[in-house]
Amino acid sequence: MTEYEVQGQWLESLPSKHQVLFLTALGHSLTVAGRDSYVPQTEELAQPAHLRRINEIQHRVAACTYEVLVNVSTESFRRSMAELVLDQSDQRLRENMQWAWRTAKERVLKAAAQGAT
């Protein structure tokens, strides 16, 4: 079983309110990861292809969040989030996406442990 399949199962195992919390945290982490595409202290992009890829991932994460909230989400779409985020061929992008997933997961687990949800 691939890592993204394991992570997709983990996401699917969460109650829907925790899925929304995770997807929201993931969306936030993706915006942070996108900043790695910037040329520091300028308006220029060092990695425009990475930023575009992250934006496309963010678009689907937002769609999945919406679908979970309105109760029309499918299991396959929710599980596909892990592959979409984690299965990257470019090493730098893969590291950024792994960081975003891990950070979002840590945030949802911490919130759940603290009874925040």
pTM of the model: 0.94
Each residue's pLDDT expressed in tens, for the chain with a length of 117 residues: 899 999 999 999 999 999 999 999 999 999 999 999 999 999 999 999 999 999 999 999 999 999 999 999 999 999 999 999 999 999 999 999 999 999 999 999 999 888 876
**Per-domain residue ranges of the chain:** 3-113
Q: Are 104 and 64 in contact (CB under 8 A)?
A: no
